[in-house]
């Protein structure tokens, strides 16, 4: 399917401008910066739409982060304000307090704790700097639930949520971002594996399936369909009991 990158870029910038006018005139865009394609493209879009003085990048390593230099390079390339907030003490505090309270955390709880602490950090920075938190998830990740609920799956506004990984990369290149930001091997930076290792299939296969419905391997199709169905709840608002008082 055709992807008109120039039109998408212009429409996205206009849409972001309109959203901020309605939901926070003069507010700043606060973005968690990893140095990967999604946060890089999101930050570049916000700079185009709002100006670099209204974009704040927040780097949140959990102790040592081997690729933090890439994230710092992105903030320098765009000329935006940047804060480094190491979440290691907060992470260890929760883990140790849980142990002291007799709670045995599961492996998945350990993995998801960091992105949830990062989102809390983003909102703390946002509330302290007249900001709005920008979600950086893309359609491909959302399709199979590759995000943490109440972690990187949330925010105040989501520019890339309807774009596949391939489309995000094309947009990043069109925005003039160097390859080191657009084509960095995707990883959550938490468990030591790439996104594709964790998913069990490539984004190229997933993107094609999303846009065309075409896929060769029936096992991969079944895996994608299963992940999609199991994780739809992450994209929905919390359900509330539909109680209505009797007249």
Lowest mean pLDDT among 100-109, 196-205, 222-231: 196-205
Rg (CA), the chain: 19
pLDDT score at 187: 63
Would you place residue 10 in the very low, low, confident or very high pLDDT band (cuts 50, 70, 90)? very high
The answer to whether residues 145 and 155 touch, using CB atoms and an 8 Å cutoff, is no
Mean pLDDT of 10-25: 97
- State the chain's mean pLDDT as an integer: 94
Using one digit for the tens of pLDDT, what is the confidence trace for 18-35? 999 999 999 999 999 998
Say if residue 247's pLDDT is above 90. Answer: no
pLDDT score at 190: 53
Say if residue 191's pLDDT is above 80. Answer: no
Mean pLDDT of 135-139: 97
């Amino acid at each position: 399917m055709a992807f008109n990158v120039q039109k998408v870029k212009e429409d996205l910038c206009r849409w972001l401008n309109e959203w901020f006018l309605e939901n926070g005139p003069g507010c700043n865009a606060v973005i968690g910066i990893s140095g990967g394609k999604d946060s890089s493209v999101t930050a570049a879009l916000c700079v185009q739409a709002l100006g670099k003085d209204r974009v704040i990048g927040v780097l949140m390593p959990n102790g040592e982060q081997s690729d933090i230099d890439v994230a710092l390079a992105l903030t320098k390339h765009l000329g935006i304000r940047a804060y480094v907030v190491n979440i290691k003490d907060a992470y260890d505090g929760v883990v140790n307090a849980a142990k002291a309270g007799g709670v045995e955390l599961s492996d998945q709880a350990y993995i998801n704790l960091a992105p949830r602490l990062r989102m809390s950090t983003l909102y703390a920075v946002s509330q302290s700097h007249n900001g709005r938190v920008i979600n950086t998830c893309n359609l491909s990740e959302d399709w199979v639930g590759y995000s943490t609920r109440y972690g990187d799956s949330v925010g105040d506004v989501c520019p890339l949520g309807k774009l596949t990984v391939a489309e995000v990369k094309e947009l990043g290149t069109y925005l003039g971002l160097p390859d080191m930001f657009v084509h960095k091997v995707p990883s959550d930076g938490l468990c030591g594996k790439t996104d594709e290792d964790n998913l069990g299939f490539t984004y190229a296969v997933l993107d094609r399936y999303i846009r065309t419905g075409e896929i060769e391997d029936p096992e991969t199709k079944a895996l994608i369909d299963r992940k999609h169905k199991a994780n739809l709840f992450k994209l929905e608002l919390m359900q509330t009991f539909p109680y209505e008082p009797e007249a």
